[in-house]
């Protein structure tokens, strides 16, 4: 496993976006990312390498988000907004507009999905996690991930055909 600094540099932004996607407010997400790495510091010796570092970090982030929502006495709320990332800072205005339009279209299509289906789509297709990593990340069985993914894709296909 890499050093804490390397892990932070590699994953802090991704974990921040993941927490926002789970429904944590933007202003609180960075604080929770810090909590993730504090917990990593405290439990690094317990990491056995049975999963990838990424899966381990996502699991910690998910658990911290759950704790956060419990402390807030809020019910778990899944934010359907996918953070917008434009890689090229020098993107032309028409490229930015097209990317925004594509993301708006994705948001529109995902509205037909349940919260669980959105989680699976996010992990599998936006973060390119394997079924195993997704299952570990969400605390589900691989079978549940596969079934939820199948139903989501079927629903999305039906939605695309009807629109």
What pLDDT tens digit does each residue of the chain (163 aa) get?
Answer: 567 888 889 988 989 988 887 778 888 889 999 998 888 888 877 777 777 888 888 888 888 888 888 887 644 445 544 454 444 445 566 666 666 676 666 677 778 888 899 889 888 887 888 999 899 888 999 999 999 999 988 888 887 776 5
Tell me, what CATH number does 52's domain have? 1.10.1740.10
Q: Give the start-end residues of each E strand in 9-162.
A: none
Q: How many domains does the chain have?
A: 2
- Alpha-carbon distance of 81 to 100, in angstroms, equals 12
Give the tokens for residue 20: 């926002």
Q: Is residue 101 part of a domain?
A: no
Q: Is residue 87 part of a domain?
A: no
Domain of residue 22, residue span: 4-71
Output the pLDDT for position 149. Answer: 93
Q: Is residue 90 part of a domain?
A: no
Co-location of 8 and 67 in the same domain: yes
Output the pLDDT for position 93. Answer: 65
Neighbours of 97 (CB within 10 A): 11
Q: Is residue 80 part of a domain?
A: no
Query: Which of the 8 DSSP states describes residue 125?
Result: I
- Alpha-carbon distance of 44 to 37, in angstroms, equals 10
Report which of 40, 50, 30 is spatially closest to residue 7, judged by C-alpha positions: 40
Farthest CA pair distance, the chain: 52
Q: Is residue 55 part of a domain?
A: yes
Tell me, what CATH number does 130's domain have? 1.10.10.10
């Amino acid at each position: 496993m890499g050093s804490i600094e390397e892990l932070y540099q590699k994953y802090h932004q991704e974990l921040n976006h993941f927490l926002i996607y789970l429904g944590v407010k933007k202003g609180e997400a960075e604080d929770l990312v810090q909590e993730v790495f504090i917990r990593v510091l405290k439990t690094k010796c317990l990491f056995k390498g049975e999963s990838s570092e990424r899966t381990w970090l996502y699991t910690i982030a998910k658990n911290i988000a759950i704790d956060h929502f419990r402390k807030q006495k809020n019910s778990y709320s899944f934010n359907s907004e996918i953070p917008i990332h434009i890689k090229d800072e020098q993107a032309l205005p028409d490229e930015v507009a097209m990317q925004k339009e594509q993301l708006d279209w994705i948001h529109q299509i995902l509205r037909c999905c349940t919260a669980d289906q959105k989680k699976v789509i996010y992990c599998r297709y936006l973060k390119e996690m394997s079924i195993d990593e997704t299952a570990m990340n969400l605390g589900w069985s691989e079978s549940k991930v596969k079934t939820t993914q199948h139903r989501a894709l079927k629903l999305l296909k039906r939605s695309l055909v009807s629109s």
